[in-house]
Structure 1
Amino acid sequence: MAKETTVRARIDETLKEDAEAVLKELGISTSQAINIYFSQIVLRQGLPFDVTLPDRKKAGKSS
Protein backbone atom coordinates (compact mmCIF):
# COMPACT_ATOMS: atom_id res chain seq x y z
CA MET A 1 0.00 0.00 0.00
CA ALA A 2 1.21 3.50 -0.83
CA LYS A 3 2.35 5.76 1.98
CA GLU A 4 -0.29 8.38 2.76
CA THR A 5 0.09 12.04 3.68
CA THR A 6 -2.22 14.88 4.64
CA VAL A 7 -3.11 17.83 2.40
CA ARG A 8 -4.38 21.01 4.06
CA ALA A 9 -5.80 24.01 2.24
CA ARG A 10 -7.85 27.06 3.18
CA ILE A 11 -10.98 27.54 1.09
CA ASP A 12 -14.21 29.47 1.35
CA GLU A 13 -16.59 27.71 3.76
CA THR A 14 -19.60 27.96 1.44
CA LEU A 15 -17.58 26.63 -1.50
CA LYS A 16 -16.49 23.65 0.62
CA GLU A 17 -20.05 22.91 1.73
CA ASP A 18 -21.42 23.21 -1.82
CA ALA A 19 -18.68 20.97 -3.22
CA GLU A 20 -19.20 18.38 -0.48
CA ALA A 21 -22.92 18.30 -1.28
CA VAL A 22 -22.13 17.52 -4.92
CA LEU A 23 -19.57 14.89 -3.93
CA LYS A 24 -22.11 13.28 -1.60
CA GLU A 25 -24.53 12.99 -4.53
CA LEU A 26 -21.74 11.35 -6.52
CA GLY A 27 -21.05 8.96 -3.66
CA ILE A 28 -17.43 9.97 -3.12
CA SER A 29 -15.64 11.60 -0.22
CA THR A 30 -13.63 14.80 -0.31
CA SER A 31 -10.45 12.73 0.10
CA GLN A 32 -11.41 10.52 -2.83
CA ALA A 33 -12.14 13.59 -4.98
CA ILE A 34 -8.77 15.13 -4.12
CA ASN A 35 -7.03 11.83 -4.95
CA ILE A 36 -8.82 11.76 -8.32
CA TYR A 37 -7.81 15.39 -8.95
CA PHE A 38 -4.15 14.78 -8.09
CA SER A 39 -4.10 11.58 -10.19
CA GLN A 40 -5.38 13.56 -13.18
CA ILE A 41 -2.71 16.24 -12.65
CA VAL A 42 -0.01 13.55 -12.80
CA LEU A 43 -1.62 11.75 -15.76
CA ARG A 44 -2.04 14.93 -17.82
CA GLN A 45 1.14 16.62 -16.55
CA GLY A 46 -0.92 19.70 -15.75
CA LEU A 47 -4.32 20.76 -14.54
CA PRO A 48 -7.20 18.64 -15.90
CA PHE A 49 -8.93 21.76 -17.24
CA ASP A 50 -7.90 24.96 -19.01
CA VAL A 51 -6.91 27.90 -16.83
CA THR A 52 -7.20 31.15 -18.77
CA LEU A 53 -7.89 34.79 -18.23
CA PRO A 54 -11.30 35.96 -19.42
CA ASP A 55 -11.44 37.71 -22.77
CA ARG A 56 -11.83 41.37 -21.80
CA LYS A 57 -13.86 42.17 -24.91
CA LYS A 58 -16.33 39.36 -24.22
CA ALA A 59 -16.56 40.40 -20.58
CA GLY A 60 -17.71 43.87 -21.65
CA LYS A 61 -14.43 45.62 -20.87
CA SER A 62 -12.44 47.47 -23.48
CA SER A 63 -8.66 47.63 -23.41
Structure 2
Amino acid sequence: MLARKQTSIKVDPRAWNEAKDIFKKYNLTVSDAINIFLNKVRLKKGMPFDVKLPQKNGSSYIDELRKRDISIDKDIDVDVVINEMNDGLS
Protein backbone atom coordinates (compact mmCIF):
# COMPACT_ATOMS: atom_id res chain seq x y z
CA MET A 1 0.00 0.00 0.00
CA LEU A 2 1.25 3.47 -0.85
CA ALA A 3 1.98 5.93 1.91
CA ARG A 4 -0.91 8.30 2.53
CA LYS A 5 -0.68 12.08 2.78
CA GLN A 6 -2.52 13.57 5.70
CA THR A 7 -4.35 16.81 4.98
CA SER A 8 -6.91 19.10 6.51
CA ILE A 9 -9.79 20.61 4.56
CA LYS A 10 -12.69 22.89 5.38
CA VAL A 11 -16.04 21.60 4.17
CA ASP A 12 -19.72 22.38 4.50
CA PRO A 13 -20.82 20.26 7.49
CA ARG A 14 -24.21 19.45 5.95
CA ALA A 15 -22.61 18.28 2.69
CA TRP A 16 -20.07 16.23 4.67
CA ASN A 17 -22.71 14.47 6.76
CA GLU A 18 -25.06 13.75 3.86
CA ALA A 19 -22.21 12.54 1.64
CA LYS A 20 -20.83 10.40 4.48
CA ASP A 21 -24.20 8.64 4.79
CA ILE A 22 -24.25 7.97 1.04
CA PHE A 23 -20.69 6.65 1.06
CA LYS A 24 -21.59 4.25 3.90
CA LYS A 25 -24.08 2.57 1.56
CA TYR A 26 -21.14 1.75 -0.71
CA ASN A 27 -18.96 0.71 2.23
CA LEU A 28 -16.69 3.73 1.61
CA THR A 29 -15.23 6.28 3.97
CA VAL A 30 -15.05 9.96 3.10
CA SER A 31 -11.29 9.46 2.62
CA ASP A 32 -11.99 6.64 0.15
CA ALA A 33 -14.38 8.87 -1.80
CA ILE A 34 -11.91 11.76 -1.86
CA ASN A 35 -9.20 9.40 -3.14
CA ILE A 36 -11.54 8.15 -5.87
CA PHE A 37 -12.26 11.76 -6.86
CA LEU A 38 -8.56 12.72 -6.89
CA ASN A 39 -7.66 9.71 -9.01
CA LYS A 40 -10.46 10.47 -11.49
CA VAL A 41 -9.08 14.03 -11.79
CA ARG A 42 -5.59 12.64 -12.32
CA LEU A 43 -6.70 10.13 -14.97
CA LYS A 44 -8.89 12.62 -16.85
CA LYS A 45 -6.37 15.42 -16.40
CA GLY A 46 -9.30 17.60 -15.41
CA MET A 47 -12.57 17.62 -13.53
CA PRO A 48 -14.49 14.33 -13.80
CA PHE A 49 -17.72 16.25 -14.50
CA ASP A 50 -18.75 19.38 -16.38
CA VAL A 51 -18.03 22.66 -14.64
CA LYS A 52 -19.56 25.79 -16.09
CA LEU A 53 -18.51 29.23 -15.00
CA PRO A 54 -21.10 32.00 -15.25
CA GLN A 55 -20.49 34.66 -17.84
CA LYS A 56 -19.75 38.06 -16.35
CA ASN A 57 -21.89 39.99 -18.84
CA GLY A 58 -25.45 40.03 -20.11
CA SER A 59 -24.76 38.10 -23.30
CA SER A 60 -25.78 34.77 -21.76
CA TYR A 61 -29.16 36.18 -20.77
CA ILE A 62 -29.73 37.59 -24.26
CA ASP A 63 -28.67 34.25 -25.79
CA GLU A 64 -31.18 32.48 -23.54
CA LEU A 65 -33.94 34.86 -24.66
CA ARG A 66 -33.09 34.13 -28.28
CA LYS A 67 -33.16 30.37 -27.65
CA ARG A 68 -36.61 30.68 -26.11
CA ASP A 69 -37.71 32.75 -29.11
CA ILE A 70 -38.63 35.63 -26.82
CA SER A 71 -38.62 39.02 -28.43
CA ILE A 72 -35.94 41.21 -26.93
CA ASP A 73 -37.99 44.21 -28.01
CA LYS A 74 -40.81 43.29 -25.60
CA ASP A 75 -41.15 45.18 -22.35
CA ILE A 76 -38.95 43.37 -19.88
CA ASP A 77 -38.79 44.14 -16.17
CA VAL A 78 -35.19 45.32 -15.77
CA ASP A 79 -35.14 44.40 -12.07
CA VAL A 80 -36.06 40.80 -12.95
CA VAL A 81 -33.32 40.64 -15.59
CA ILE A 82 -30.69 42.04 -13.21
CA ASN A 83 -31.74 39.67 -10.41
CA GLU A 84 -31.56 36.67 -12.75
CA MET A 85 -28.14 37.75 -14.00
CA ASN A 86 -26.89 38.22 -10.43
CA ASP A 87 -28.26 34.80 -9.45
CA GLY A 88 -26.21 33.29 -12.27
CA LEU A 89 -23.03 34.86 -10.87
CA SER A 90 -23.46 33.59 -7.33
TM-score tier, shorter chain, comes to 0.7 to 0.9
Instruction: Count how many residue pairs are aligned between Structure 1 and Structure 2.
Output: 61
Q: TM-score, normalised by structure 1?
A: 0.78
Give the Cα–Cα distance (whole angstroms) in 2 for the partners of residues 11 and 4 of structure 1: 20
Superposition RMSD in Å: 2.0
The aligned runs of 1:1-63 (5 Å cut-off) are: 1-53=1-53, 57=61, 61=84
Distance (whole Å) between structure 2 residues aligned to residue 20 and residue 40 of structure 1? 19
The alignment partner of 1:24 has SS state of: helix
| Percent of residue pairs bearing the same amino acid type | 28
Q: Which runs of 5+ in 1 are unaligned?
A: none
- Name the TM-score, length of structure 2 as normaliser: 0.57
Structure 2 unaligned spans of 5+: 65-80, 86-90
Q: Which has the higher contact order (CA 8 A, sep 6+)?
A: 2
